Structure 1
């Protein structure tokens, strides 16, 4: 059994500050879960409590249904892979991978067989007699994973293992970790501050802020239905556009009114947002919901171009709207690679309001509406 349950777990330091506050989470056997958040949000501390490297101030931590609050790390059968790899530079790949088993008194034949299997799984067989200094960053990361695999743990805890790699290696290792999870079928908890890792690797994302877990769900569901403005902006690049506005009644409908913004609320959201009519709101819309050509049901807005970012597969327009009643609002639009416009130009964009969000300016929480689902094609 490799389920992991955190039952209102907290970490309180001697100075009275919480590193982690009241985390309540159940991780199923064989699940790949991502802890996502900015630096200092408590994600690594939570991981270290699961590993037994940090004490728990309150709550109960269970692995496989057994409380492990007072169980030392060596007896939890959990493997941890750190950002720094932590390889012994004077040892070969073979010796690094087998060192932990050797210290436990496991026989040489068993160690050799486990190393052979793990090396084959990770493509390390040709490098078993090399020292870490003779390996690339990606190969060293594989050795650290191999050292964890040979232990045959019930779960793997990965603490930002890809952050030291360059962009290409990071993309390759993301895919390798997903493949590895499918082959091993073990529980994996992966800590990262990288939104791409979170969106592409995990079965579920747990977004943390200031020691608290503020939203948990499948990546695309969290992306489509953020609970507040922090999640809305953190879980994407470019982030969600957040525009100050007011929700007004209009005939038998509703409209979001702001400086440079006049958007009728789609019928699908009218009932949910009716109680908010007459209030100040924050209007949220993803950059991909702005289009360069007219679309059925879309609303035209005029945008002054501030910058164009050409990414090859697409162009990101950064622009401003409004400004007649004060400071203009900067927004981003994810457009086709064929779209270009000079800085300073005024261009029309077409806004699809169906995926819109409204947030409370005081609490930053999303006003409830029917959840949207994004289906992978």
Structure 2
């Protein structure tokens, strides 16, 4: 195993633009870290710099405490699993898994032992003589992982390895990768743009945007305490509802005033950190899962919403509606699977305001307050 450390690492292209800029990050031995972000944010570029497939313009990159800025990819003892699997179509599964070891001059008996061990770990024993064209997408993915495992690297670098799989197989492979990490105990870095992968697989997520690392932390901690509007919206499906409003005082209370007829109160426990923004514009962030069809707790606050659509997803229904009268804002709410309301009807819903976030309208940064516990 090995730690991976990036100290002010940047990648500057010939035209002067930056793919990645001033990344500071330490990945601990045996940690499973997710790089999450939209296309073009720099997550794959960062992974390729760790692998040695992309040069570093400035900064220092260390693996196991050793600077590897000028170390060739084959000498870094890391294994990369690509999105397209990169299998040799004319070779059997056995030969695909053994190829890298042969190139390093490993003896046939040792190769056979390592391939057999990896095949057993990944459930490939009965497929060793097949060629990639005769395998399913999930099986090809396992072969690509097996080829990496036989090398016994210090770290695994996974570049969107599940993106080519269908939804059901992707869910199965998420669990398989988590199990594999537990069995091997090796450092893993996984690149994805899928929020579900990020929330369910990693020990820690690193959210990237425009070549910079915006926020890192345990998935549920980042979910409960987003650093800014980008993180708040990106790390949720449906995305967080962002509502332009005014933060005002009313009857010794602090109120998020959406329009003259619509408001929600700030919980008293959050008065102190939020009062500094009173009297000015604010963006209120309310997650779809914090809006309910019934008032289970007295502190939940009623809002009236005009129904635009109801998406029936089986396990739940997602309501899309308009909040406010003067300049209605479209919001979404995740409700029970038995909820239904006709289009254009007005329904009363209830907001749990404790996990509500307030963001600075100009900067998009979250207004600082004591962090919420994970899961809120």
TM-score bracket, shorter-length normalisation: over 0.9
**Is the CA contact 2:6–2:60 (under 8 Å) kept in the aligned structure 1?**
yes
Deviations 1:260-312 (A, max 9, x none): 53111101111110111111000001111101012320111100111111111
Residue 365, structure 1, aligned to residue 365, structure 2: yes
User: Partners in 2 of 1:123 and 1:242 — Cα distance?
Assistant: 46
Matches within 5 A, 1:1-377: 1-259=1-259, 261-295=262-296, 296-324=298-326, 326=327, 328-375=328-375
Q: What is the aligned-residue RMSD (CA, Å)? A: 1.0
> 1:369 aligns to what SS in structure 2?
coil
Greater than 4 Å deviation, 4+ residue runs = none
**1:60-112 deviation digits (Å, cap 9, x = unpaired):** 00000000000000000000000000000010000000000001100000000
Cα distance in 1 for residues equivalent to 2:44 and 2:282: 34
Aligned partners of 2:113, 2:310: CA distance in 1, in Å?
Answer: 55
Q: Deviation per CA, 1:119-165, whole angstroms, max 9, x where unpaired?
A: 00000000000000000000000000000000000000000000000
**In structure 1, C-alpha distance between the alignment counterparts of 2:203 and 2:336, rounded to whole Å:** 30
What residue ranges of structure 1 are gaps of 5+ in the alignment? none
Secondary structure of residue in 1 paired with 2:348 = strand
Distance 1:268 1:147 in 2: 54
3-state SS, counterpart of residue 334 of structure 2: strand
SS of equivalent residue, structure 2 residue 321:
strand
**Match of 1:88, SS?**
coil
SS at match of 2:121: helix
SS of aligned partner of 1:205:
strand
For 1:147 and 1:265, how far apart are their aligned partners in 2? Answer: 54
Number of equivalent positions = 374
Offset, 1:48: 0.2
Local SS of the residue matching 2:145 = helix
1:16-41, Cα deviation, whole Å (9 max, x unpaired): 10000100000000000000000000
- Cα distance in structure 2, aligned partners of 1:315 and 1:375: 21
Measured in 2, the distance between the counterparts of 1:84 and 1:228 equals 33
Distance in structure 2 (CA, Å) of the matches to 1:343 and 1:155: 52
In 1, distance between residues paired with 2:262 and 2:196?
31
CA contact (8 A) 2:4 2:61 kept: yes
Distance 1:267 1:21 in 2: 40
CA distance in 1, matches of 2:290, 2:100: 51
TM-superposed CA distance for 1:343, in Å, is 1.2
